[in-house]
Chains A and B, each alone.
Chain A
Amino acid sequence: SQQGEEDPQALSIQEGENATMNCSYKTSINNLQWYRQNSGRGLVHLILIRSNEREKHSGRLRVTLDTSKKSSSLLITASRAADTASYFCATDTTASKLTFGTGTRLQVTL
């Protein structure tokens, strides 16, 4: 079963714009991880945010976590065509087993 739900399911923006994706989950977590997946490829780890953290940055990525609302957001600033991919949030509840959402498909056009 899928624990997380990403919103929106699909997002189309122009190069240079910011992209925001949201993730909601249902149960308490140890941490939340965001992954990128290019079409037909494996998952690339982007960022991990622990349950006691509220915000984390990595390059053009900014992740927030609100455990009271059971939600997280991923912001990609100054998007590039190469950012075109599916983005997944995954929650870590027990034994570091990840439960994934259904993903947001991001299309960045020139």
Chain B
Amino acid sequence: DTGVSQDPRHKITKRGQNVTFRCDPISEHNRLYWYRQTLGQGPEFLTYFQNEAQLEKSRLLSDRFSAERPKGSFSTLEIQRTEQGDSAMYLCASTGGSSSGNTIYFGEGSWLTVV
């Protein structure tokens, strides 16, 4: 078990471009979360999957954002037509399965810089 894995760790993109982040949760975990964190702030919830079903989306998740978890394993977060305000760290987390209880485990995050 290697923990929650996120890729890429850093992404610099020009305004207007699309970017996609990938998250591989801990293998037995059925719940997967995306959070966003800006400098000096705590993480803010974006969306949540139970297996492949997206059960909740924050109002922070504008229509330029889309998240998928097609087979209930890895997930992708795509941001279309990026804006400078999208610059942040995007964190993925997972939980569920027999060993985690209610503990939610986070990945190292994907830093996005929009120039």
Chain A residues near B (Cβ < 8 Å): 2, 4, 30-31, 33, 35, 40-45, 48, 88, 90, 92, 95-103
User: Which one, B40, B55, B109, contacts A42 given CB within 8 A?
Assistant: B109
- Residue total for B at the interface (Cβ-Cβ under 8 A): 27
Decide if A102 touches B45 in the complex (CB within 8 Å). no
Once A41-B109, A100-B44 are accepted as A-B contacts, the answer to whether A95 and B56 lie under 8 Å apart by CB is yes
Taken together as a complex, chains A and B put the C-alpha atoms of A96 and B30 apart, in Å, by 12
Interface residues of B (CB under 8 A from A): 4, 6, 31, 33, 40-45, 48, 50, 55-56, 91, 93, 95, 101-109, 111
A96 adjacent to B44 (CB under 8 Å): no
User: With A42-B91, A43-B91, A88-B42 given, is the CB distance from A98 to B104 under 8 Å?
Assistant: yes
Indicate whether A2 sits within 8 Å of B42 (C-beta atoms), given known contacts A41-B109, A48-B102, A92-B102: yes
